[in-house]
Amino acid sequence: MNQNRIRGLRWRASEHTIANQAFLSVLDRFVQQAVLQVLQKSWDPTFSEHSHGFRPGRSAQQAVHEAQQYIAEGYRWVVDLDLEKFFGAPG
């Protein structure tokens, strides 16, 4: 990406942390969505049927409902995982 097209903000999030927020140009966002639509057709079938995050036709409400069904069936653990927070956001 051309750094000149990216707009951003920096602010002090806490005493020791500077937060950054980047805003992509309209063209960059358009290209990002086009690539996502092509790749998603190949990648989505490889994901677990129990995965709900950022997938077409799935929602957080469906994930909660599925977790409640498992609890009703006698399961005792539900795992919620956010990979971005696990590995850390880039930048």
Contact 21, 8 (CB under 8 A): yes
Query: What is the CA angle 17-29-60, rounded to 5?
Result: 70
Domain coordinates in residue numbering, the chain: 1-46, 49-78
Query: Tens digits of per-residue pLDDT, 31-45?
Result: 989 998 899 889 888
Distance, CA of 64 to CA of 66 (rounded, Å):
5
pLDDT of residue 8: 72
pLDDT of residue 28: 84
Query: Tens digits of per-residue pLDDT, 51-66?
Result: 887 788 888 899 999 9
Distance, CA of 31 to CA of 4 (rounded, Å):
17
pTM of the model: 0.52
